[in-house]
Structure 1
Amino acid sequence: MMEMNEKKFLTVAPFECAWRKDLKFREAGRGCVAFDAFAHNDVTVVFRENVGSQHYHYKRDNSPHYTVIIGSHRNRRLKIEVDGKTVVDVVGVVLCCSSAFQSYWISVYDGLISIGKGRYPFQNLVFQWLDSNPNCSVQYVGLSSWDKHVGYRNVNVLPLTQNHIFLWKQVDCCEYRGDEECDEEMEDEHAGFDDWGLGNFLESCEWSDVFFIVGEEERPVPAHKVILQACGNFLSSSLDGDVIPLQGVTYPTLHALLQYIYTGQTQISESQLGSLLALSSQFDVVPLVKQCEETIERFKQNKKLFDSGKIVELSYTIFQPHSGTIFPAGLPVNPEKLRKLHLTGEHSDVSIYVEGHGLVAQPHRIILSLWSVPFMKMFTNGMRESHSSKVCLWDVSVEAFNAMLEFMYSAELNVKENMEFGTILLQLLLLADQFGVTPLHQECCKMIIECLSEDSVCTILQVVSSIPSCQLIEEVCKRKFSMHFDYCTTASLDFVLLDKTTFSTIIQHPDLTVTSEERVLNAILTWSMNAKEFCVGELVDELIVNSNPELLFKERFESLNDLLPYVRFPLLSYVMLKKLENSNLCRHIPIMDNLVKEAIGFLDIGLTGPGYDQNVRFQHRRSSFKELQYICDGDSNGVLYFAGTSYGDHQWVNPVLAKKITISASSPTSRYTDPKALASRTYVGTSFAGPRIENGRTTSWWMVDLGNDHQVLSLSFLYISLYVALEVIIKLLKPLVLCC
């Protein structure tokens, strides 16, 4: 059984599948689904042309589909199936974990299936497979399981941008065509800062503030106090703070120690292992001490495996719980020591000032440069900051900047969840983008998406819509706004601050959900007026009497002409369209007058007008169907069926029992007659307890009450079957709904 708990965790039972109409690619055959999953094995994702049922299982599906199974064969393999046939079965790729939620993303692009592991979609690509006969029609995503429950959360379906497609085409070129030139191009493109790390500062004089003196030749070897102190205890009070003399220590031994500290790995001959152990013990580099001791012990136990000239490799194997190679992951850095150096400012070589706040931090150039290209260039390209220890920043939030510094020293994002949480998170996102701190930017994106609400979506869109690196957040926000359009346009007027491109995209979004097309029209009028209160058509119509469109809408008048065609006027009631036809809006705005007349003509002609089926303006939005609305002839009990199932989305519930409608009969009910039979899913024969005489004639009738907003329909007939009467009532509902 599929369940959704209070925290919106979706649990899928064995041999079942969760389908939702929002889990759909915007473009058939192209899209990406990102999610967190909790399972012992077999996280199964199905890509299909149409929505399946809860009891759907891909093994029994004869229609075209792709299936990706993460952790198949008891969490040992990755499998991809096409129409039920296995095409990929590899060992040990993208496995799931039973102890915690794991993050994954799977994309499909014209048969190219890409699978990644991690919190950030379109990154950390792990596996790709190209279908030689691609299915370009798959569009719906099903979350399934095998023989154990699987938990899902944070499920998002995202579009593929041109950047993602271009990158994957490059990968495809290299992987499937063996193109060496492509490999060289990608190496050149990603060379530089992608390989940047602490190893670049190994024995570098850049920002060094301490020297080791080794060997008989007294060779000076530069280093950085903050790095040394974060890995051990190098600067005791008995030593000169800027010079550390090492008598009896050779350069290869010191180089091996520093290489281990700066890169997390080193090599040294077996004969010098004892010297390295002694030196690392002297400076309390605990991880290296333990590795040296363990290696020496193995030598003692089995000397035959080694000889005195063998080179020994030592690697720091305790990695931080973060993906990638970001500092300080993979290095023997003590996080607590590093945080303490940040808090105290000890060994700092730069002071950060923020306009209006004075001195806010005293960090270290080398730490800032490890994370940020702008900071690195600021300190090296001859700018004022290259020669001065003072850096001044403007228009920067102190709270956000301190949070960024804390992330640089710990690789962890810690923002207190208080009233200002959302604001600081957005400011931090902008800072991360400004200073190029990519891992922090990604973490902010993930957190913003997880915390996104209808109340915050407009504020976030205003910030991120102009930032190319925030495209993922922008897409999620637009979809959130579209799916909660009524709330987002009435709870506040923040949406009028959105730029035209963003607002236009929302109006055209395929997931736009509204209770009435009138709300779309009113939102466009409100945005175009840049109003301070929500405007309905009647109010705007009154305002335009004493003004003209150019003065009323000002600089957004041209935008109004561009946005009005996105309103599906034929979905408005006939009464409202006739009212609009005689309004001041139509008199002063020609394009609106044309659209209203077009809609009236459409309703007069009916559903069979030429070309209407292909024009989106004449098509129903899925969300614009009203309960009890006439759909078309030939439905299973027409409006009553849709009233009972919410247009097929839910299991059948008789609308009489659900109290959505009331049905009464002309004669008393008996054990042979039940009013709800008229609204049953299939025809049920009925009878009356006795005839009813009206105007001297024997008659019987049913009466259907559609609620306060609808008139009560009654129909009298003489010896007519109830089934025929139902069909007549359905047809009578058509003109009623058009007037609602």
Structure 2
Amino acid sequence: MDSSLLTDLTLTTHNGKSFNVHSLILAAISSFIQERLRNGNEERIHNDDDQRWSVSLSPEVDLVGLKAVLEFAYTGAVLSLNRESMTSIVAAAQALDIPRLLEFCNKEERMNEGRSPKKEERKYSALEQMKITLQSIEKLWLDIVGCNVILDVGGAVFYVHRVILAASSDFFRGMFTSGMRESHQTRISLPFISASELDVLIRCSYSGTLPLSWDCVFEMTCTALQLQFQPSLSLCLNFMRQEMEASSCLDVASFAEAYEMSELLMESNDFVLRNFWEVSVTPKFQDLPAEKLLDIIHCDDLCVPSELTVFRAVISWVEADPEERLGQAGRLMTGVRFPLMTFREFREVRAIYLRIECFGNKEAELYGSALKEFGFSLPETQDQCRVRHPKDALVVVGGDQLNPDGRQRIPNKELWFANSLRSGPGLVKAMEWRRLGEMPDKPKFRHGLAALLGRLYVIGGCYYYTKDDMMKSAYSYDPVQDSWKRLADMLEFRSNFSVVVQEGCLYAFGGDKEINTNVDSVEVYNPDTDSWSFTQPLDQSLSGHAATVLDGRIFISGGFNCKYMCLVSMFLYHPERGTTYLADMTHDRAQHCMEPLRGHLYAAGGVCNLQTFYTDQQACEVYDPVVDSWTAFASLPVPHVGAASAVLEEKIYVLGGYCQDDYSESGLVHRFEPITQRWETMGKLPGAVTDIRACLLRLPPHFRL
């Protein structure tokens, strides 16, 4: 409208002021305009002449009222509504018969007079108003009202609105606004595209939704690219990113490379590297060109349980077509890092070479080369390790630990991040830790930690071990500026509590407000207003529980009740509706971890009740929200009480903690690999190990150099 592009209706006030607008947009809110549009529908769509028309408004419609009507039509808001403008806006809404705007004005008038509206007369937001307007536009299209162009695709006919096509597609925008012959035609032939795919794209332009599956997404993306339907293209690309899996990632990579989509290509290639084991057993893997396979296995960022996985993948690729591929086996084997294998793993290499008779004399040469590399190139340094640098950094904050002589505990204020992951010989894994800095003010442990919009939030906790050492302070860290900011304090002192991010806000659940006293309160932090407010409480006091978000829903498991008994409970929390209980866990636990992964929730570690004392809970279980049930998975190899946890590249990390039975600390990091269903040891933490917290944060490049 601001550019007067494809406007077809002129509205003129009594004093001669006029506005060029889109009749379709006005018809979506105004019964008066919609009726006029319906009456002239047949004439307009079959007339090749100028399709502009005009309406002279009655004297009671002034400039203030008309501008408010247009603001409402195009944005859903009426920012100009106040006591002075109310009369003009109501007059315009009545003249043009705009029920929603009249209803809005009536509510505002009642509120100004001190009469609160009824609950069912709630105030709609501008976004909700726009949603209703767009639904009205879609209904007009389905009724073929106001359609001013016909698209003919091989005999299939589509009645559409020029303005909607132009807003959705740069191709049609250029066609209708650049003076081309088609800009004056009411029937346009498009012989070069698929009618079924155009139908889907047109429907998406009106509804905002696009039905996609792997069977059609590549064809839809091609058509969206060809016709420059940017919103539809974005939906297609988002589908590929979000639904990417082992069976489709290689197709996505090939597609992205063919169409020079560098970002999508980078993401799909990284997916292959992260999930190489799963990808290597798919049929698509056998179709990889040798050069592509060599690039993959030569990459340091390749994630594999051991180097034997790489060897097996190469062998399976060669065996898929031995006559054609045997000649390339030697070159491909240069990507297998034999020195990283154990003696037991290398025995399998020898056995496989002896088994492959189709190699002829080649197997002796290949085995000899591998044996030489294995036996004489064992690295004394880490040069031969595979070193992966995840895009997101795993950050650990605060905590406490025993001093070297074990006589006292030392609270911590340091931040560390895992810069890289290293795979060494056999099952040897390690993490490269780097110091990120220190928290301002006092050290913290048993605190809350979350990342939101690129910032780190550190909240509450303890700074020492006595009754008065609980905290309610909150800070945010901006890694771009490398600076801290003091935020508004929480409304309650809290330690041993949980924090989650939900719809752009932080939620703090329960926790201890002093020694042996926990609370049921929940408070929410709004970053826009730097303020905390109480919301619906839990139905019982909790501390040492675990909370996380899955598919937009907040789940809370276990913890200590008011008598400090470990719980088996699992429930959903809603800020308005409160608590909804789900299936209990098989094992009671508190001070444990719970993380979302692949549509499930994994609970691990913590303590449990054993008669009158606590003991370590090493049993782990996974929750399926679809069937509301728990099943066991691999137990932790060592106790992790008061540990931190996070999900990095679809693997669960449990970091630090202590052993309840003897209060020993190891500082070990364990990683759960969902493919193998096993825990891997990833080395040790660099600093404090108990009551730490962890989350993922995207750091500026200079931190990672």
TM-score range, shorter chain: 0.3 to 0.5
Which protein has the larger Cα radius of gyration, Structure 1 or Structure 2?
Answer: 1
Structure in which a larger fraction of residues adopt helix: 1
TM-score (norm 2): 0.43
